Structure 1
Amino acid sequence: MDRNRKILDTAAELFYEKGFHGTSVDELGSRAGLSGPAIYRHFSGKDEILATLFDEAMDELIGATEPVHDDADLDLQRMIRHHALFAARHRHLVNVSQREDRSLVDPWRKAINRRRKQYVQSWEAAVARSIPAASPAEVSVATQSCLGMIFSIAYWPAKVTRTAGLADHMVRMASEGLDAFRE
C-alpha cells in the first residue's frame, strides 16, 4: 500500500474514532507508521486529507450515477445496490463525511459542495426517469429518502452491515418505497 493511501485510510479511521478536531497530525502519523511532520511531505495538512477523502468518495459515488441501462428501474436498482455496498464497505468514511463536513475549509468546501449538488442532481435525474409521473417535489423526497436510507448504514452495528444480501434488501426496500410515488 502506498503512503498516501495508508495516510488516508488511517485518517478515515481516526476521524471516525476521535473526530477531525480530536485527531492530531502526530497521532495520524504515528498510526500510519510515519512521524507527524512526515505527513506534510504527502499532504498540506489535515484539511487536505479530509478533502481528499471526501473527493475520492464523490468520485466513486458520482461515477455510479451514470446511466448504464435503457431500463430506468434497472438503473436505479443498480445505483441503490452500488451505494448500499459502498456505505457498508466504507461505513467509517460515510460516517465521517456526515459528521465532519462542517470541518471542511475553503477552497475544498466549495468544491465538495458543488460535487454533492451534482451528485444529488444525478440521483434526481435517475429517480425522475424511473417515476416519470412524479412532480419535482416528489422526486426530491424520493431521492432524499433513498439516500437517507442507504447512508444510514454508516450508523448500523458492523455485524448488520455484513448481512448476506444487504444490498438486495436495500434495493427491495427502496423499490417498495418508491412504488408509493407510482400510485
Structure 2
Amino acid sequence: MSQPAAGQGVRVRDPERAAKILDAAVELFATRGFHAVAMSEIGPAAGIVGSGIYRHFDSKYAVLVALLEDVMSQLLSSADQIIAEHADSDTTMGQLVRTQIDFCLDRRRHVQLYRREIHALQPEDGRRLRRMQRRYNEEWIATLLEIRPDIDDGKARALVHAAIGAIQSIVAYDSGQSREDQTRALTAVAESCLNATW
C-alpha cells in the first residue's frame, strides 16, 4: 500500500498542535533515525496522547514528508525574497550565504534530518523535493555567474555545491563557538569556495 504524498497525509486541525508534533518528531528522527522511531513515541514527546497524532498526520511517513518539505519551502521562500529585492549580485550572494548560515544554525535538526532521510522518501516525493532543491541551487548559480564571468556553468555549479555543503557541515557537530564566531567562520569558508579558481 502506497504512503500518502505530501499534503494528502496532513489534516487541517489545530496548527499549533501540529507544529508541536513536528518539533518533537524532528528531534526524534534526527537523533535516532526515521526508521528507529515509533509513531507512538512522537505524541508523548509532543505532550499529547499518542493516538492524538493521527488527528493531524495519517502516518509517520506523512510527518517525515512534512518536515523535509518545510526545509526546502523555507529556503526557497527566503531565496525568492532575496532575488525579488533586485539588489546587485554581490549583495544578493551575500544574503544567500547569510540566509543559509542562519537556517543551519537555527534549524540544525531539520538540516540533519534532510541530509540523512531524503533518500527514505518514495519516488514521487523525492523527485518533488529534489526539484525544489535544484531550483534553490539555481538561484545561487545564476548569481555566481553574474559575479564571475570568468567561469562556466559547470564550475559555478561545483563551487555552489561546495559552498552550501561547507555551510551545512556545521550541523554535524557542535563547535562550541559563539553564534557570531560561527557565522563569521562559515561566511569566510563559503566565500572561499565561491571565489576558488582552478
- TM-score, normalised to structure 2, is 0.83
Question: 2:193 is matched with which residue: 169, 177, 182?
Answer: 177
2:57 is paired with a residue whose SS is coil
Runs of 5+ unmatched residues, structure 2: 1-14
Q: Which residue of 1 aligns with 2:157?
A: 140
Q: Alpha-carbon deviations, 1:57-92, whole Å to 9, x = none?
A: 111111222323431111111111111011011111
Shift of 1:171: 2.1
The one-letter amino acid paired with 1:164 is E
Matching of residue 44 in structure 1 with residue 58 in structure 2: yes
The answer (yes or no) to whether the contact 1:81–1:168 under 8 Å persists in 2 is no
Runs of 5+ unmatched residues, structure 1: none
Question: 1:17 is matched with which residue: 24, 31, 35?
Answer: 31
Two-structure CA RMSD over aligned residues (Å): 1.9
Q: Alpha-carbon deviations, 1:71-125, whole Å to 9, x = none?
A: 1111111111111011011111101110111111244222212211212222211
- TM-score, normalised to structure 1, is 0.90
Matching of residue 78 in structure 1 with residue 92 in structure 2: no
The answer (yes or no) to whether the contact 2:43–2:50 under 8 Å persists in 1 is yes
Matching of residue 65 in structure 1 with residue 79 in structure 2: yes
Alpha-carbon distance between aligned partners in 2 of 1:166 and 1:177, rounded to the nearest angstrom: 16
Count of aligned residue pairs for this structure pair: 181
Matching of residue 4 in structure 1 with residue 18 in structure 2: yes
The answer (yes or no) to whether the contact 2:26–2:109 under 8 Å persists in 1 is yes
Residues 79-94 of structure 1 aligned to structure 2 (within 5 Å): 79-94=96-111
Shift of 1:8: 0.4
Alpha-carbon distance between aligned partners in 2 of 1:177 and 1:100, rounded to the nearest angstrom: 26
The runs of at least 4 consecutive aligned structure 1 residues that moved more than 6 Å come to none
